């Protein structure tokens, strides 16, 4: 018996590498990957809804760092998504409607453009059209958000490596009868208008999934797992093509806002749960990678949304609040001025705790590069 153990341990000692897990060694990156996730219209109640209406504990409870963002635009107390996203992308407070421009309509370099200049891989994913205010603010510069034809043309000139969302009507069979289809191959962009089909990723190619005429369908109309799956695909693309360079990815849950505008709680909650699934995909990646920061925030609250108690008739006592049954309540069909949450995980995440202006999020991200 002792002899057998001796033989076995001798054999094992000849193969010491079998005891350690195999890991592909990557060159160390000088800065962390940045994944910025924007829940459009996601105030605290929207975020909280996932606690009560999801099948399991939300992914966002995994974040160790929490902050509050003050959302006002330069022109108004209540911001729109253009000024909100431009604060993140360019670091400036600007007027409602501005895309990638300061309050005096001068174009400001976006964080995506700055990083692409330094050979970072970049990606944008949204459930709106890819030319909508939030994604557009990372690559386009126009004075008015509704210039989506112009924004589409600027995308082609941009350095966005991975793009996914809706918005076909701003590229093909346009109202101005222009068709940008031939420009995609001319710019080395692999275009897919059918679905999230994976490719043999090539580092010198750009990829664009433009999968709906306008915005992507809402969750309750069958969008399925587009957002978490596109997020996972983008991370896979970066993993295979970025080499020793970091990447910057923006993921937007665009339609939490649209559920708020529609005062439709089921719409809103479906979108919130889907956004949380994408958050889970990003966090899983970041935990495994060890040098990726994930920041989740919102541009503004929308709908004055709340989860309030149902009122019930109690015999002899009249109408009373039943604190164990929730119903949706809306105070507005538009945005509100409430502060919004900021959640952060990863190297340097501590700087996102506290209460600060929305454009500080840009400065904090830039600070991670040092």
161/274 with CB nearer Zn ion: 274
85/286 with CB nearer Zn ion: 85
229/300 with CB nearer Zn ion: 300
113/257 with CB nearer Zn ion: 257
Three-point CA angle 94, 95, 97, nearest 5° = 115
Buried b (16+ CB within 10 A) or exposed e, 30-47: ebbbbbbbbbbbbbbbbb
153/257 with CB nearer Zn ion: 257
CB 111, min distance to Zn ion, A:
22
CA gap 233, 222 in Å, rounded: 20
CA gap 138, 35 in Å, rounded: 13
- From the list 267, 281, 171, the residue with the least C-alpha distance to 226 is 281
161/257 with CB nearer Zn ion: 257
Structure tokens at 120: 């970072």
**How many residues bind Zn ion, per CB under 5 A?**
1
Q: Phi and psi of 81, rounded to 5°? A: -75, -25
For the chain, the helix, strand and coil percentages under 3-state DSSP, each to the nearest 5: 35, 25, 40
- Window of 63-71, 93-101, 249-257, 290-298 that interacts with Zn ion by CB under 5 A: 249-257
89/255 with CB nearer Zn ion: 255
| 123 in Cβ contact with 161 (< 8 Å) | yes
Q: Phi and psi of 101, rounded to 5°? A: -130, 150
245/261 with CB nearer Zn ion: 261
What residues form DSSP beta bridges with 200? Answer: none
Cβ of 282: how many Cβ atoms within 10 Å?
A: 27
- Start-end of H helices in the chain: 2-14, 44-53, 81-90, 111-117, 133-136, 148-157, 181-186, 226-241, 256-261, 265-289, 360-367
148/153 with CB nearer Zn ion: 148
Sign of torsion over alpha carbons 268, 270, 275, 280: positive
Site for Zn ion in 41-60 (CB under 5 A): none
Q: What is the 3-state secondary structure (H, E, C) of 182-226?
A: HHHHHCCEEEECCCCCCCCCCCCCEEEEECCCCCCCCHHHCCCCH
Question: Does 301 help bind Zn ion (rule: CB under 5 A)?
Answer: no
CB 205, min distance to Zn ion, A:
34
CA gap 206, 41 in Å, rounded: 30
Structure tokens at 366: 């830039």
Nearest-CB residue to Zn ion?
257
Site for Zn ion in 251-270 (CB under 5 A): 257
Give the binding site for Zn ion (CB under 5 A).
257
């Amino acid at each position: 018996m002792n002899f057998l153990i001796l033989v076995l341990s001798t054999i094992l000692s000849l193969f010491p590498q079998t005891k350690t897990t195999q890991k592909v060694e990557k060159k160390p990156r000088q800065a962390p990957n940045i994944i910025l996730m924007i829940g459009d219209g996601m105030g605290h109640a929207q975020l909280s809804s996932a606690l009560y209406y999801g099948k399991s504990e939300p992914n966002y409870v995994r974040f160790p760092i929490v902050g509050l963002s003050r959302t006002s635009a330069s022109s108004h107390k209540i911001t729109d998504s253009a000024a909100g996203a431009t604060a993140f992308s360019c670091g400036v407070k600007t007027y409602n409607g501005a895309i990638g421009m300061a309050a005096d309509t001068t174009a400001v370099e976006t964080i995506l453009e700055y990083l692409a200049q330094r050979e970072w891989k970049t990606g944008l994913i949204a459930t709106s059209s890819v030319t909508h205010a939030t994604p557009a603010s990372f690559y386009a510069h126009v004075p008015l958000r509704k210039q989506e034809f112009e924004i589409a043309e600027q995308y082609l000139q941009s350095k966005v490596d991975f793009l996914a969302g809706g918005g076909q009507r701003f590229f093909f069979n346009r109202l101005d009868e222009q068709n940008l289809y031939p420009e995609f191959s001319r710019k080395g962009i692999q275009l897919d208008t059918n679905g999230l089909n994976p490719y043999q990723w090539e580092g010198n190619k750009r990829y664009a999934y433009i999968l709906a005429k306008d915005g992507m369908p809402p969750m309750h109309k069958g969008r399925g797992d587009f957002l978490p799956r596109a997020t996972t695909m983008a991370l896979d693309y970066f993993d295979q093509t970025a080499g020793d360079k970091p990447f910057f990815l923006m993921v937007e849950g665009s339609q939490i806002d649209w559920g708020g505008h529609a005062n439709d709680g089921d719409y809103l909650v479906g979108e919130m749960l889907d956004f949380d699934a994408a958050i889970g995909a990003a966090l899983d990646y970041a935990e495994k990678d060890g040098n990726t920061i994930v920041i989740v925030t919102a541009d503004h609250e929308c709908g004055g949304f709340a989860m309030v108690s149902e009122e019930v008739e109690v015999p002899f006592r009249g109408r009373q609040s039943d604190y164990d049954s929730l119903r949706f309540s809306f105070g507005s069909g538009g945005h509100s001025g409430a502060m919004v949450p900021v959640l952060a995980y990863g190297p340097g995440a501590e700087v996102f705790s506290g209460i600060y202006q929305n454009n500080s999020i840009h400065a904090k991200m830039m600070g991670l590069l040092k």
